[in-house]
Structure 1
Amino acid sequence: MHKILVLGGAHIDRRGRIDGETAHGASNPGRWFVEAGGGGFNAARNLARLGLTVRMISPRGGDADGESVAAAALAAGVDDRPFIFLDRKTPSYTAILERDGNLVIALADMELYRLFSPRRLAVRAVRDAMAEADLLLCDANLPQETIAALAARARHLGKRVAAIAISPAKVPRYRDSLDDIDFLFMNEAEAQALIGQRPETAEGWPALLRQAGLSGGVVTRGREAAIGFAGDRSVSLLPPTIDTIADVTGAGDSLAAGVLYGVMRGLAFEEAMRLGAAAAVITVQSPLATAENLSADVLRDMLALVPAAKILS
C-alpha cells in the first residue's frame, strides 16, 4: 500500500455564517460551525479515506482544540504524529461569511507553525517517516526555510514532493523550492502571487510555471476549466456542473488528494485530474471540509459526472 507523509497545517477552523443581509459595524444574527481543518490535514484525511497509508506531522498546542484535531485524525484513519507544545495554543482560522458564503473577514492565528523549524526535520522519527514514504505532501503553513529543507531532503532521498498553496500571501514561500516540487496545487490568484505575472489566456499557465522551475501542478479557476500539467503533458478540465453546493471549504484540498491518489495508482495525468475533480464535487456537496462519505468506490461513481480532459500539449 502506498505511503504518504503529510507535513503542514492541522488546526481548528471556525466559520460564522450570517443569516441575513450583512450589516457592517453591527451585530449580525448567524450560526457558528467548528471543525478540524488545515490544507495539509484536509488532504491527509481525504487520502486516508481513499485507502492510502497516511501519516501527519504538525505542531499542536496542549489544549482542547489539539485534542479535537487528534480525534478527527483518528476518525479518518490518519496516523497522527504531532509535535505537541503543552504551553501553546493550537493554531486556528476564524472566518465570517455572508449568507451566500462569500468571505467578510477572517483571522488566522497560525503563530505556532513558525516553531516547525528545519531542525524538526532532523528528529529521528521525522527522518524515518520521510525515508519510508512514497510521496511527501506539505502546505505553505510551514516556514519558507522549512519547506526548502524538506524539498532538499526529499530530493536527496529520491522522493516526490507535492505541495498545497494555502493562500496568495503564503504561496511565495515555495519560490526557493520550485525545482524540487513535483506538483503544486493552487488557484489563479495564488499562481499569480507565486510568479508575479498572469498569462494572456489560462492555457498559458503551464509555460509560465515551468519557466519558474515547477515541473507539475494544477491551477484551479472556480467554475472555469482547471489547468494542469506534469512533465511534458498539459491538460484542461472543466469542472462538472452540480445543482447542490453545501460548502466550498476544502474543495481545493480534496482536488489535490484526488489527483495524488490517481498519480499514486499510476494513472495518466489527465485521468488523475478527473479523479481530483470528482473528489472536489463530493466535498462541496458536504457541509464539512472533508466529506465523511468519501471512499474509492464513491469517487469512482462520481467520475460519471466529470467530462474528459482536454489535452493542451
Structure 2
Amino acid sequence: MSDARLDILAIGNAIVDVLAAADDAFIEQEGLDKGSMRLIDAEEATRLYGRMAAGREISGGSAANTAAGIAMLGARAGFVGQVATDQLGEVFSHDIQAMGVEFSTPPIDADIPTARCLILVTPDAQRTMNTFLGAAQYLPAGAIDERQVRDAAILYLEGYLWDPEQPRAAMERAILIAREAGRKVAFTLSDAFCISRHRADFQGLIDEGRIDILFANEAEILSLTGAGSFDQAVAEVAPKVPTLVVTRSGLGAIGVEGGTRVDVPAEPIEEIVDTTGAGDLFAAGFLVGHARGRSLKDRLRMGAIAAAEIISHYGARPEADLRALIRARLG
C-alpha cells in the first residue's frame, strides 16, 4: 500500500445537511412528524428550504462522513459523489475539500438540484429530517477517475447508493478498476432496507470475492443472511470475506479475519446525544487503522473511539481531536 497516493477513496451520496432551529408550532404547521425522516421531491425541498430559518450547511452523506473522519484522523482521503451546479453543490464541494478530502467529481449540468437533508431541530433536541436525493442519484460511470481509483489503497463503497442504476454502474466500474490494480475493496451494507431491495446483488458481490472488507451492523447481517442468531449470521458470512466487521451498538463490535474473531466493547461515554454518523465514523477509524497496518483489535478500537466521539454530541462531524483521543487510548 506504500505506493498509494490516497489511503481511502470513498464513493457515496453527496448530500448537504442543512440544520436549522424550529419550534413545535413550525413542525405542526408544516404537517411533519417530529423526530422522523421522510423522502421529499425537488419542489418540496425548494419550498421547505425557503421557509426554514437561517442554519448551518455542511457536506453530508454516509460515505462523505466517513471520508471526512478519515481526513480528520490524518489519513489521505478522497470522495466521489454527484452534486449539481447550484449553491448547495458549491457548499458541498467547498466544505468537504476544506476538511482535507480530495473531491473532483464534475457537477452535473442539468436541471437536477444537489441533494439535501433539511434537518429541523426543535428545543427538545429532536431532529426532523426531510431528504431530497436529487443529483446524488445520477452519478455516471464516466465520473469514475480510473487513475484516482488505482491511486487509492482502499476503495470504500456505500450501500445506500446501490439503488439508482447509474451510481450502481459507477461503483461496479470502480470495483473492477480497484481489483485489477490489486487494491482493497470495502463495502458497507448501510441499511436493512437496502439489503431487502438488493440482497441478491450484495450476496453476489460477497460470493464472487469482490469485497475484501465488509461492514455491517447486527440488524444488517441478520437481514443479509436470514440467520436465526447473530453468531450464526457471522459464521455464514465470515468465511466469504477476508475481513468482516459488525457493530453492535452498546455491545461493541466484532471483527473476523483469517478465521480469528475479535470482540471489543463499546467505548464508555457520559451520555448518548445523537447516533447520527456513528457507523460512518466507526468505518473511518477502522479503515485508517487498516491503512496503517494496525492489528484487528486496534482497528476495531479505533472505530469504537471515533464512533463514541460522534454520539456524544449532535451532528456527524467530530468536535474533538480524534487523533489525540486515539493516541491517548491506544498509543
The corresponding residue for 1:198 is 227
Residue 101 (structure 2) pairs with residue 73 (structure 1): no
Within 1, Cα distance between the matches of 2:158 and 2:13? Answer: 7
Within 2, Cα distance between the matches of 1:137 and 1:246? Answer: 27
One-letter code of the match for 1:133?
A: A
Change (3 A) 1:14 1:230: farther
One-letter code of the match for 1:93?
A: C
Within 1, Cα distance between the matches of 2:150 and 2:270? Answer: 44
The corresponding residue for 1:154 is 178
Q: Between the two proteins, what is the percent identity of the paired residues? A: 25
TM (normalized to structure 2)?
A: 0.77
SS in 2 for 1:60: coil
Residue 263 (structure 2) pairs with residue 244 (structure 1): no
Does structure 2 retain, via aligned residues, the 8 Å contact 1:18–1:28?
Answer: no
Does structure 1 retain, via aligned residues, the 8 Å contact 2:12–2:81?
Answer: yes
The corresponding residue for 1:230 is 257
Q: Which moved more, 1:246-255 or 1:279-288?
A: 279-288
Out of 82, 91, 94, which is 1:59 matched to? 82
Out of 302, 305, 310, which is 1:275 matched to? 302
Stretches of structure 2 that go unaligned for 5 or more consecutive residues are: 36-52
Within 1, Cα distance between the matches of 2:234 and 2:87? Answer: 43
CA RMSD in angstroms comes to: 3.2
Within 2, Cα distance between the matches of 1:28 and 1:119? Answer: 39
Size of the aligned set, in residue pairs, is 296
Within 2, Cα distance between the matches of 1:70 and 1:99? Answer: 30
Change (3 A) 1:155 1:247: same
One-letter code of the match for 1:193?
A: S
Does structure 1 retain, via aligned residues, the 8 Å contact 2:16–2:115?
Answer: yes
Change (3 A) 1:228 1:102: farther
The corresponding residue for 2:235 is 207
Within 1, Cα distance between the matches of 2:203 and 2:125? Answer: 31
The corresponding residue for 1:308 is none
Does structure 2 retain, via aligned residues, the 8 Å contact 1:165–1:185?
Answer: yes
1:199, distance to aligned residue in structure 2 (A): 4.0
Q: Which moved more, 1:236-245 or 1:54-63?
A: 236-245
Change (3 A) 1:86 1:144: closer
Once the two structures are superposed, residues 55-105 of structure 1 have per-residue CA deviations (whole angstroms, 9 ceiling, x without a partner) of 22211111111121122213211111123013321112345688877777x
Within 2, Cα distance between the matches of 1:95 and 1:226? Answer: 29
Structure 1 segment 51-130 matched on structure 2, within 5 A: 51-87=74-110, 88-94=112-118, 106-121=129-144, 126-130=145-149
More helix by share: 2
Residue 309 (structure 2) pairs with residue 285 (structure 1): no
1:54, distance to aligned residue in structure 2 (A): 1.4
1:282, distance to aligned residue in structure 2 (A): 1.5
Does structure 1 retain, via aligned residues, the 8 Å contact 2:285–2:306?
Answer: yes
Does structure 1 retain, via aligned residues, the 8 Å contact 2:285–2:299?
Answer: yes
Q: Which moved more, 1:263-272 or 1:172-181?
A: 172-181
Change (3 A) 1:112 1:260: same
Change (3 A) 1:279 1:260: same
Does structure 2 retain, via aligned residues, the 8 Å contact 1:11–1:91?
Answer: yes
1:161, distance to aligned residue in structure 2 (A): 0.9
1:205, distance to aligned residue in structure 2 (A): 3.4
1:49, distance to aligned residue in structure 2 (A): 1.3
Out of 115, 133, 139, which is 2:152 matched to? 133
Does structure 2 retain, via aligned residues, the 8 Å contact 1:148–1:176?
Answer: no
1:112, distance to aligned residue in structure 2 (A): 2.6
Within 1, Cα distance between the matches of 2:269 and 2:245? Answer: 21
Change (3 A) 1:181 1:99: farther
SS in 2 for 1:223: helix
Change (3 A) 1:193 1:206: closer
Change (3 A) 1:295 1:237: closer
